[in-house]
Amino acid sequence: MIVYYSWSGDTEFVANQIKDLTGADIFKIELVEPFSTDYRTVAQQYREDNRTGKIRKLKYTVENLTSIDVIFLGTPVWGNTRALPVKSFLHEHNLNGKTIAPFATHAGGGIGDCFSDMKKEAAQAKFLDALSLVSGQIPNSKPIIEKWLFNIDIIK
């Protein structure tokens, strides 16, 4: 299953590429109280939520997670880590014993602690090598994604 949060559309594009290449089911993380679509406002909301430790409630949760072995978990990089909606997903779902193939999109500032924070928040899951894509790579990312899927033994 592919689970992702996308603010600008980049992570959603990558999630759909993975879906096309694997045939996996897809789940978009949505919040009851979503972040703003305005960049300055969302940056302010992010800082405030981080400062207070707020975890926003998910609008939907994944049903029958017990039958899923591998989860592709996608996020944009916010403040050198995973986006807060992904933190909400990890907080509300038990991923013990699952295999997670993380992927992230960013504007060029790198992934920072994105993947290490995911590993801390899902400490009982097994993590495969991660995929990181810069926004400029995304429109033509299919060969990069195929190579990643091959390298982590998802496709042959």
What confidence tier does 156 reach under pLDDT thresholds 50, 70, 90?
A: confident
* 156 domain-assigned: no
pTM of the predicted model as reported, rounded to 2 decimal places:
0.95
Identify the CA nearest to 69 among candidates 7, 128, 1. 1
Label residue 6 by pLDDT band (50, 70, 90): very high
User: The CATH number of the domain where 88 resides is what?
Assistant: 3.40.50.360
The answer to whether residue 52 sits within a structural domain is: yes
Structural domain of 38: 2-151
* Residue 38 predicted with pLDDT over 90: yes
Q: How many independent structural domains does the chain possess?
A: 1
Asked if residues 22 and 1 have their Cβ atoms less than 8 Å apart, the reply is no
